Amino acid sequence: MIPAIPPIPSISVAGSFGIDQAPVTAGASTVGAVAVSSGGSFQNILGQAIDALNGTTNNATNLSLQAAAGTASVADATVASTEADLATQLASAVTGKAVNALNSIMNMPM
């Protein structure tokens, strides 16, 4: 008889990279795992989002190496890799939308 597959534990991406997941208060929103206040500058918000993406991809790389060495589960490495892939796709889509918006603004007649 084949044994049942155990459930996959959740991976806390924010906790492993020092990103605070403070409760979101009025006037604030979340971008990925990063709590962003509405008073923050665009540069800070963008920097936090890029740092979160970098942390996610680093986590996936480390877990993949650990899984290859046999010290981490393949399931955890697969989940981390999928999270990194989705985060990269999201960043790419948002970048494309931002470039299109900038081009639209630049092409407006004055």
pLDDT in tens, 11-48: 554 444 444 444 444 444 444 445 555 567 888 888 89
8 Cβ contact partners less than 8 Å away, ≥ 6 residues apart: 75, 76, 79
pLDDT in tens, 77-99: 999 999 999 999 999 999 999 99
pTM passes above 0.75:
no
